[in-house]
Structure 1
Amino acid sequence: MPKPYFRPLMQNVPVRPAGAVTLAGGWTWFTHVEVLSRANEPFIIAAADVPQDVLDRLTAPRKPVAGLDLSRPNLMGILNVTPDSFSDGGQFTDPHLAREHALSMVSNGADIIDIGGESTRPGADLVEVEQEIARTAPTIAAIRKSSSVPISIDTRKACVAAQALAAGASLVNDVSAFTFDPSLAQTTARAGAPVCLMHAQGDPDVMQNDPRYDDVLLDVYDFLNVRIGVAEAAGIPRDRIIVDPGIGFGKTIAHNLAILNRLSLFHGLGCAVLLGASRKKFIGTLGDAPEARDRTPGSIAVALAAVAQGVQIVRVHDIKDTKQALALWQSVHQGEAADVT
């Protein structure tokens, strides 16, 4: 019998019918689940008919991670201290400017700041460890002197993460899910830090060279399931793990849309889910916005679609605009003014 995968069919309206169950202790609920497999056509069953262990993972409230309340949507502000990131490269290489931008994002509603010193855009080259540390650690320290906001270090390298955590970072965000530098798992575990594990097919310099999958949705799910096991074996408990399907990392437009269409599947991993799609190329292609700076409306649309599927963290460039859109989305669905503080 082919392995089944269970995707909750999310609802957001206030009135819930009998048999409805809450997803992950959050703001969405479901009464039915889509059953997927690699061999059969999808079909739908009642939530009550889902195997109990699967249902437990789907419904168990997510514990706070890095100070984030996962019972509500959270905004992760992007801060690249690089010269070559696809959207904001070169704007915040000065630690003072980076600090001011981080504090501005916090004042506009960011719940966590994600700091990266190595571009992982398609075609990007590897950055040496010493240079990546020099870009990130001083910026983290400068922000920490002025704010207690959670900070994540966006890195694939153990030495960079260690210096970032020592400077005040709260979370490790690894786009390679411990495949690039396996020692990063032990570094993260020893620090008692949470981690975000992301799926990518190939390193940034080659990842967009004709990416292929048997079934992109299920392949990404299985990859993340295996990497969660690696993290747990290193001593990082599942309730300190976030998963990210890696939109745009070794994926075509069709791959990205297939993942976004059934994004709620990833809640079955029993972890919080993060989505990072802000200003990415597929948004520009579909939304007729060649310049990254013009992709804010499309980025917000994708972020709200993710929140509708219960995604707990959305990683965005445009905090103020996304915060406003989220407040209105929640108010409309709740039928009253939403508390998004």
Structure 2
Amino acid sequence: MSVLPLPPAPASSPVPVPPALPGGLALPTGRAAIMGILNVTPDSFSDGGRYADVTSALAHARAMIAAGADLIDVGGESTRPNSTRRITPEEEWERIGAVVSALAGDGIIVSVDTLHASTARAAADAGAAIINDVSGGRWDPDMNVAVAASGCAYVVQHYRALPGMPGEHFDYGEDLVGTLIERLNTQVRDALDAGVTADKIVIDPGLGFSLTADQCWQILAELPRLTTYGYPVLIGASRKRFVKTLGGNIDTDSAAIAAHAVKSGAWAVRVHDVAATAATIA
């Protein structure tokens, strides 16, 4: 494992309260949750194409649950750096619809990673419990209302632009984390104004999105400022470029960052290698 450029995590942090879910579903309490990543895409940065058919996608999702995942985050559109080809909501749902329906039918808690309000609606109808929008309601102006109507929990990620696209810039003034919290507060307020209830909101600083490698490390170093802000925090560092700069084993290093995030009070970590993460944060 590489040496992380981070200060020691707090000796103890408050146990995060999970978001409220629809349909009588519930996430574990008293500990952090593990969100397994399922990319049903041909072009995601880490595992694009490996789980693009329904059979392999379901097998991988069930393997992640067996390895310790508490929920599965299903995505059908890549937001990797410079992924300039955006797909239609129809194409996205064609990729993920059967997977979402099957997993939800098995009683697995499903999160759907989407920019599109119509995909969020379809996912909720198919049994998804969480909508995870990397734009935090900024890409599709109908997203906040769609999530409010669905009753799903809502991951509001800080957003300026997708990686490598126009609008991406990295100036946050003298207080990076303070500025990030202010910007997230605006996004959360818009979601609340649209009817999303506070007990369903999760915030995500969006590591790798309009953030340099040094800025990602700074956010992780100051994570308690976010985790005491008032909403559960999701951290997604797994296999991202700033982790690769360490030069070590990407999954071992990702798991170590997940452990730091949990010790700093994160509600959940979003990861590719569930088994390594589960072993590290146990």
Is TM (by shorter chain) over 0.5?
A: yes
CA drift of 1:206 comes to 1.7
CA drift of 1:144 comes to 2.6
Match of 1:30 in 2: none
Instruction: Return the TM-score normalized by structure 2.
Output: 0.90
- Could you say if the C-alpha distance between residues 204 and 129 of structure 1 is closer, same or farther in structure 2, counting changes exceeding 3 Å? farther
Match of 2:163 in 1: 204
- Could you say if the C-alpha distance between residues 241 and 64 of structure 1 is closer, same or farther in structure 2, counting changes exceeding 3 Å? closer
Match of 1:288 in 2: 247
Alpha-carbon contact 2:40-2:51 (below 8 Å) kept? yes
Matches within 5 A, 1:316-327: 316-327=271-282
CA RMSD of aligned residues (A): 1.7
Letter in 2 for 1:288: G
Match of 1:298 in 2: 253
Letter in 2 for 1:104: A
Match of 1:93 among 30, 39, 52: 52
Match of 1:48 in 2: none
Matches within 5 A, 1:83-122: 83-122=42-81
Deviation string 1:272-330 (CA, Å, 9 cap, x unpaired) is 01000001111111x215xxxx4101101110110110111000000011111112xxx
What CA distance in whole angstroms lies between the structure 2 residues aligned with 1:239 and 1:207?
A: 33
Tell which has more relative contact order, 1 or 2 (C-alpha 8 A, sep 6+). 2
SS of match in other structure, 2:228: helix
SS of match in other structure, 1:75: strand
Match of 1:232 among 178, 192, 201: 192
Q: State yes or no: 1:128 paired with 2:83.
A: no
Deviation string 1:10-49 (CA, Å, 9 cap, x unpaired) is 323xxxxxxxxx62xx1xxxxxxxxxxxxxxxxxxxxxxx
> Which runs of at least 4 in structure 1 moved beyond 6 Å after TM superposition?
none
CA drift of 1:209 comes to 5.8
SS of match in other structure, 2:108: coil
Q: State yes or no: 1:309 paired with 2:268.
A: no
Deviation string 1:213-262 (CA, Å, 9 cap, x unpaired) is 21321111111111111111111111110000011111111110110100
CA drift of 1:137 comes to 1.1
What CA distance in whole angstroms lies between the structure 1 residues aligned with 2:169 and 2:202?
A: 28
- Name structure 2 gaps, 5 residues minimum: 1-8
**What is the number of residues matched between the two proteins?**
268
Matches within 5 A, 1:136-285: 136-145=96-105, 147-206=106-165, 211-214=170-173, 215-285=175-245
What CA distance in whole angstroms lies between the structure 1 residues aligned with 2:18 and 2:236?
A: 21
Instruction: Return the TM-score normalized by structure 1.
Output: 0.75
- Could you say if the C-alpha distance between residues 210 and 237 of structure 1 is closer, same or farther in structure 2, counting changes exceeding 3 Å? closer
Alpha-carbon contact 1:201-1:207 (below 8 Å) kept? no
CA drift of 1:267 comes to 2.4
What CA distance in whole angstroms lies between the structure 2 residues aligned with 1:186 and 1:326?
A: 36
CA drift of 1:131 comes to 0.6
Letter in 2 for 1:188: V
Match of 2:4 in 1: none
Alpha-carbon contact 1:153-1:164 (below 8 Å) kept? yes
CA drift of 1:208 comes to 9.4
What CA distance in whole angstroms lies between the structure 1 residues aligned with 2:46 and 2:166?
A: 18
